Amino acid sequence: MKLNLRPKVEPEVNLTSLIDVVLLLLIFFMVSTSFVKQSQISIRLPEAENVQVVEEFPDQLDIMITEQGTYLVNGRELVNNRPETIRNALQKLSGGNTTLPLTISADANARHQYVVTAMDVAGKLGFVQISIATVNDPASP
């Protein structure tokens, strides 16, 4: 008995008509959808009468030094570059919290003495997390 084996034919699904139907349904739902504007509610918020000013202390301190030796503490320029002024600004902004991280960034052409002065003042105040910001040279690999 000889069995006649036919080659197996893989069933083929034609998706073209299915895609056409889905696109037509999509267009139909987009056109038939009504966009309703929600009514706006006017709300009158209460106002505070007794306002207490709460000082918020930053979570980190930044000292920037310009080429001319001008100090900026958290973006605010100091009136002069004396160590006492730097110390007062750091104490005021930190609120006495010397555990805050302190970043010192200086212009490439600033004198080294300005950076040392800032580090010395911060060290005398008790800051222990002092870091010096650097910029990577884009030409280096």
- Give the pLDDT of residue 44: 72
Tell me the per-residue pLDDT of 15-43, one tens digit each, with 9 for 90 and over.
888 899 999 999 998 888 877 666 666 76
Tell me the per-residue pLDDT of 44-88, one tens digit each, with 9 for 90 and over.
766 767 767 666 666 889 999 988 989 999 888 999 989 999 999
- Give the pLDDT of residue 39: 65
Provide the total of helices (H) and of strands (E) in the chain, helices listed first.
Answer: 3, 5
pTM of this structure: 0.56
3 vs 1: which has the higher pLDDT: 3
* CATH classification number, 61-132, choose in 3.40.50.410, 3.40.630.10, 3.40.30.10, 3.30.420.270: 3.30.420.270
Name the pairing type of β-strands 71-73 and 61-65. antiparallel
Domain locations in the chain as residue ranges? 61-132
Phi-psi region of 120 (alpha: psi -120 to 50; beta: other; left: phi over 0): alpha
Indicate the residue type of 78: L
